[in-house]
Amino acid sequence: MMMPGMDDMMGRRPPKPFYPSLMDFPTMSAEERKSFEAKAQVRFSAGLAEVAAAEDELRHAHAAKDAAAAERAARRLRDGLNDVSSGAAALRAFAEGKPGPQIARDWFRQQMNLPPDAVHPPSSGLFGLDWIHLAAMAALATVSLLLMVAYGVRTRRAAALADRLVRASATAGATPATAKVESVPTPAAAPVTVPTVPTTRPEAAKLWKGQLRVAAIFTETPNVRTYRFREIGGGPIPFSFCPGQFMTLSADIGGKLIRRSYTIASSAAQTSYVETTIKREDAGVFSEHMHRDVSEGDILDVMAPSGAFTFTGAESDSVVLIGGGVGITPLMAAVRYLCDIAWPGEIFLVYGARTTEDFIFRDELEHLQRRHAKLHVVASMVRATGTSWMGPEGPITKALLADTVPDIASRRVHLCGPPGMMAAIRAILSDLGVPAASIKTEAFGPARGAVPPPGQTLVVELADKALADQPVRPAEPIAAIGPATATIRFAVSNKTAPLAPDQTVLEAAESIGVPIDYACRVGTCGTCKTKLVEGKVTMEIDEALSPEEKSDNIILACQAKSIGNLVVQA
């Protein structure tokens, strides 16, 4: 007896299975019918024998508690039943006198759980198909085509999104496996991806624009408050950021749209909310608005994140954070984050405040210091006389830094505070041998073009006179608007304006209503990038521009000034 499959191995064609072979016999002679009936009978009997044998095997397997054998027997039983069922069906069909192809079709339909064959009139349509079939096929083809087009579009959009995320993560280093930093026009459409913990420097992370709700307001000192923002629907914050980055808030104040940048002082590991800590400046348009008009539950327009004054722990194995006044906010963002991730490096925070009353985050820093052995906080009060302050007094000095930060010359330093203090500390750090490349700084402003009426000369006072009273070079006037000597043409808007020597391209654009987007107005975020078509400009700060952008004549409109005529692409 031949083993199953031997036909194939010997090169002979295997016999056609029973039911498909019936399709070849639309009409059957009595002899052919007999032969098929015999085959059906054989199939039926073989199936029956198989069922009996499988039943036996099943019983033995059960007695021997052999699960694998029971499985094999069950399979055999199923096959046997199949043969019994198909054999019986064929025998019945032959008994009813059905033609071969119909017996086969009925069998297949039964196997596929389809209703029995309906009797159709002879086709009158194309290719022997009736018009109903043709119409159904055409409809199906159209739907398939539409689905394919939709799939193509979705695939392209997904690829573009993935590309953007890859580029954002490459530049932002925000490891956005789950990160989503994307423009969202309305809160309803806001993606709620959980921001992930950033790891490296983020200069060019794309801005998220949308609205956040003020969930809570905390008083830190008599003139400093913290604003906690949440996603309007209560979900996670819809952007990720690095410690030290800032967000830009905007509001209609007195009929004018005003924007100001504020550091995200909360930890980048916190995904439920972001916090900014805002000092109320004397005659400060936005900070006064925040302190006076904004309450819990209010919704604000927000752009975030921006800025490259970041420290994530990946940049060096220890860090020295030096700050004064409200300049503590980006440093606090780093402290909070590094403590949250239990960063193993040494963290030195050296902070200068006017009085103990003005010591922002004092309680929290004391608490964190107790919990994190690697966090060393040193604070100095400019005026401590008459208070219970037991720590250092006066401005931050060379001796204080040398005593409290061992081997400071070999460490990375982040510095943020009033301009006078920053200049003083830079000089001290240089004396202590800290290379300029190891010192990262951020100045808080004020934002250029924020308040001064056109034509007025402005000499900005230091935000904190007490801290500024240090032996340092004096604060420089930052905006002196004189008579116009040149013109600037905005090529896209086709408008021309006079350009005073100390006026920025952004200010000139605003004076005649040419729209140029901006956020920080201090040259760090890059939102105001514009192409220079003709002329030459100087920029006090251009850190938001890459070398390629500079060689491609991209300028920061908030920084660019000129004494010659200009043409810009805006």
Ligand X SMILES: Cc1cc2nc3c(=O)[nH]c(=O)nc-3n(C[C@H](O)[C@H](O)[C@H](O)COP(=O)(O)OP(=O)(O)OC[C@H]3O[C@@H](n4cnc5c(N)ncnc54)[C@H](O)[C@@H]3O)c2cc1C
- Applying the rule CB under 6 A, the residues between 291 and 330 that interact with ligand X are 307, 326, 329
Residue from 77, 338, 458, 556 touching ligand X (CB under 6 A): that is 458
Token duo for residue 517: 């987007």
**Residue span binding ligand FES (CB under 6 A) among the ranges 141-149, 164-172, 522-530, 547-555:** 522-530
Cα separation, 464 vs 354, in Å, equals: 8
- 362-371 and 328-340 are packed helices; what angle lies between their axes, rounded to 10 degrees? 30
- Applying the rule CB under 6 A, the residues between 550 and 569 that interact with ligand FES are 556, 558
Cα separation, 501 vs 62, in Å, equals: 98
Any contact of residue 425 with ligand FES (CB under 6 A)? no
Kindly state the smallest distance separating residue 306's Cβ from ligand FES, in Å: 7
Three-state DSSP class for 441?
Answer: strand
Token duo for residue 555: 């300028």
Any contact of residue 522 with ligand X (CB under 6 A)? yes
Cα separation, 279 vs 288, in Å, equals: 9
| Binding map of ligand FES across residues 245-284, x = CB under 6 A, - = no contact | ----------------------------------------
Q: What is the phi-psi region of residue 513: left when phi exceeds 0, alpha when psi lies from -120 to 50, beta otherwise?
A: left
**Residue span binding ligand X (CB under 6 A) among the ranges 95-103, 275-283, 296-304, 368-376:** 275-283
Residue whose structure tokens are 């022997």: 128
Q: How many residues bind ligand X (CB under 6 A)?
A: 33
Residue from 413, 429, 519, 532 touching ligand FES (CB under 6 A): that is 519
Residue from 19, 94, 208, 246 touching ligand X (CB under 6 A): that is 246
Output the DSSP codes for 228-245. Answer: EEEETTS---SS---TT-
Which residue, 46 or 541, has its beta carbon nearer to ligand X? 541
Kindly state the smallest distance separating residue 260's Cβ from ligand FES, in Å: 11
Q: Are β-strands 457-458 and 479-480 bridged in parallel, bridged antiparallel, or unpaired?
A: antiparallel
- Applying the rule CB under 6 A, the residues between 534 and 553 that interact with ligand FES are 544
Which residue, 384 or 416, has its beta carbon nearer to ligand X? 416
Kindly state the smallest distance separating residue 503's Cβ from ligand X, in Å: 14
**Cα 215 from chain centroid (whole Å):** 22
Residue 300 to residues 111, 250, 297, 522, 523, Cα–Cα distance (Å): 64, 7, 10, 22, 23
Any contact of residue 261 with ligand X (CB under 6 A)? yes
Which residue, 80 or 327, has its beta carbon nearer to ligand X? 327
**Residue span binding ligand X (CB under 6 A) among the ranges 133-141, 178-186, 284-292, 379-387:** 284-292
H-run or E-run covering 290: helix 285-293
One-letter-per-residue 3-state SS of 138-180: HHHHHHHHHHHHHHHHHHHHHHHHHHHHHHHHHHHCCCCCCCC
Q: Which residues bind ligand X (CB under 6 A)?
A: 246, 260-263, 276-279, 281-288, 307, 326, 329, 442, 444-447, 450-452, 458, 460, 520, 522, 524
